[in-house]
Amino acid sequence: MNQNKDRQYVIIGIFSTIALIFIFRLLYLQVLNPDFREDAINMGRKVVIEFPMRGTIYDRNGKILAHNEIAYDLVVLPKEVEIDTLAFCKLLNIDTAEFNRRMKIAKTYPNASYKESVFQELISVEDYAKIAEQLNLFKGFHGQRRNVRSYPKPIAAHLLGYMQKVSPNDKHRDKYYVNDDYIGRSGLEMFYEKELRGIKGIKNWRRDRSNNVKGKYLDGELDQKSFPGKDLHTSIDADVQEYAEQLMHGKRGSIIAIDPSNGEIICMVSAPTYNPNDLVGRYFSKNYDTIFNQEGQPLFFRSIAATQPPGSIVKTMQSAIALDMGVANANTKYPCNKSLVGCHDHPGPLNLPQSVQSSCNPYYYMLVKSILYKDGSIETGLNNWESIVRTFGFGNPLGVDLPGEKDGNVPDSREYNATYGKGHWNYRTVYSLSIGQGEFALTPLQMANLAVIMANKGKYYTPHIVRSLDDSVLNYKDSVHMVRVDPKHFDVVQDGMQWVIEEPGGTASRARIDSLHYCGKTGTSQNPHGEDHSVFIAFAPRENPKIAISVYIENAGKGGVWAAPIASLVIEKYLRGTISRKELEETMLKGVIKY
């Protein structure tokens, strides 16, 4: 009898234990486990995201550079799909294999039992209107309104940047993003992504087991209002940008123009370029691959990422440094000794401003030698020179409001010690720095900034593109920089730069503009792999400058042949609005460089 009672207690204990396990498991699933609790809640509600309008990008005159157009995503909830597949495929102009591929993806989407996913993205308003007429026949599908970027003029592609669908890394770094979101991937779209994107809105709807909407979830208590992104008001002149891009057709290189009085970028051209509208919408991947594989690397942002020897434009800087160090004055003369370094034929000997005018290489061989040996030791001299040169904004990114800016290179003794060994190099090793060659490398933006420094007699502002976000003007007052050269020395250099354009023997006589006195300097950047690169910097007018510019054209030869005339046309366009030298304009517009 006692044995039966013991057995009864054991059986009761086992069943009680099992019951407790089930109770605690249900408690955990329904109450304690956040994942299951969230799934249970989500089964009873439908969340609809309201995508905000992305901020519009304007030029300096209020012209639209980038704005939004309405598009639609076609979304699907796989478990609800009841359709005539052939009719649906005909409506979307896809085949059944593509339909099955997309549905397979949709079914593997996280929480696919109650969360919709995008079946076809960014459909134009016109195409969606045709689809919407019949969409009620295809259960499980509906449209969701989105915004897509549009560019009224196909200009400034590198500057503006493009949008791309978010990656898993994007979602991991910033919880703002969800599947099928878009993010700025380059240019201003990337740099000002958080300001442009706005704040998403959320609508929560209550639904039954059949997924039918039955009203607002919790009376809208969890809903959030969307807020549009901030508008960017830039310093870009759309007309000048478009004109400069036309001048660079058939060429590779860059044009950058800056307002020297505040560092605002007027235009920034990287050539070859592409139509920014081609990297919008659901054809992004196909078009991106096509552009990526084109000759000349159209996606490469040369203006801020290309680093090349600047050539003779740095003779302006070398002159200013020599004057400040007291190793030369305006009347310092050197003969054009071609046994030191090659040079073109010109009268001589020249004084300092004449050396700028004629761009005499042997002159700068001797001038920079006097700089580097001022204190006796070339290592000390080179390091001192390098520290002064860096105050010109060389060797480090300037800090423009764009992603991907490179720093270039300004060598010091450590670089040569590492290459040749300490004590095993001399001036003949480094003399190419005197004429902007060798290890010396700048970006086109840094070249334009050199023109700004010459215009302002030793001062520059951090180059920037965006003036304001909505009505909030950005403060750039703390972005003023001074080079380590006394401003009084720049007058002599400016004389030589004006003679470059206006006096006989100047290397940029083709860049002359009637009734406009301005300053420039040509450069020829040596290219070991082909024709040299054509370089020119300038600012105009000489008194109270309004524009500083750099033009860099790959494989175009001497700076006075292509870069200088093109720069002069951009200057005239910006200052006067029209071009008086029609024959020169036609030559530059039609000119194509062979690569």
Asked if residue 3 belongs to a domain, the reply is: no
Distance of alpha carbon 94 from alpha carbon 90, whole angstroms: 6
Residues 341 and 490 in one domain: yes
Alpha carbon of 392 to those of 103, 366, 442, 447, 492: distances in Å? 58, 22, 11, 10, 18
Which of these three, 183, 217, 234, is where a domain ends?
A: 234
Residues 269 and 218 in one domain: no
State the residue range of the domain holding 575. 238-274+300-590
Asked if residue 85 belongs to a domain, the reply is: yes
541: domain CATH number? 3.40.710.10
Per the listing, tokens 């060598």 go with 411
Q: What share of the chain in percent tops pLDDT 70?
A: 91
> Strand pairing partners for 482?
459
Mean pLDDT of 186-215: 83
Mean pLDDT of 177-182: 87
Asked if residue 1 belongs to a domain, the reply is: no
At 222, the pLDDT band (50, 70, 90 cuts) reads confident
Instruction: Please report the pLDDT score of residue 36 as a whole number.
Output: 46
Mean pLDDT of 418-444: 96
Residues 140 and 216 in one domain: yes
Window from 5-9, 87-91, 447-451 with minimum mean pLDDT: 5-9
Instruction: Please report the pLDDT score of residue 323 as a whole number.
Output: 98
Instruction: Please report the pLDDT score of residue 27 as a whole number.
Output: 62
Sequence-ordered alpha helix ranges (H) in 347-437: 352-358, 361-372, 378-390, 413-420, 427-430
Asked if residue 30 belongs to a domain, the reply is: no
Query: Is this model's pTM higher than 0.85 or not?
Result: yes
Residues 227 and 253 in one domain: no
Residues 80 and 134 in one domain: yes
Beta strands in 179-335 (DSSP E): 182-184, 201-207, 213-216, 232-234, 253-258, 265-271
Window from 425-434, 480-489, 527-536 with minimum mean pLDDT: 527-536
Residues 123 and 137 in one domain: yes
pLDDT above 80: residue 339? yes
76: domain CATH number? 3.90.1310.10
Tokens at residue 482, please?
A: 């001074």
Residues 263 and 220 in one domain: no
Percent helix, percent strand, percent coil in the chain, to nearest 5: 40, 20, 40
pLDDT above 90: residue 271? yes
Residues 266 and 217 in one domain: no
Residues 217 and 307 in one domain: no
Residues 508 and 397 in one domain: yes
Residues 226 and 309 in one domain: no
pLDDT above 60: residue 429? yes
Q: What share of the chain in percent tops pLDDT 90?
A: 76
Contact yes or no for 445/308 (Cβ under 8 A): no
DSSP, collapsed to helix, strand or coil, labels residue 397 as: coil
Distance of alpha carbon 358 from alpha carbon 345, whole angstroms: 9
Instruction: Please report the pLDDT score of residue 427 as a whole number.
Output: 96
**Number of structural domains in the chain:** 2
Asked if residue 12 belongs to a domain, the reply is: no
Asked if residue 398 belongs to a domain, the reply is: yes
For the CA atoms of 143, 148, 153, 155, the dihedral, rounded to the nearest 10 degrees, stands at -150
Distance of alpha carbon 360 from alpha carbon 498, whole angstroms: 16
What's the whole-number average pLDDT of the chain?
91
For the CA atoms of 468, 469, 473, 476, the dihedral, rounded to the nearest 10 degrees, stands at -70
pLDDT digits (tens, 9 = 90+) for 64-85: 999 999 999 999 988 889 899 9
Mean pLDDT of 446-462: 98
Asked if residue 61 belongs to a domain, the reply is: yes
Asked if residue 191 belongs to a domain, the reply is: no
Residues 247 and 211 in one domain: no
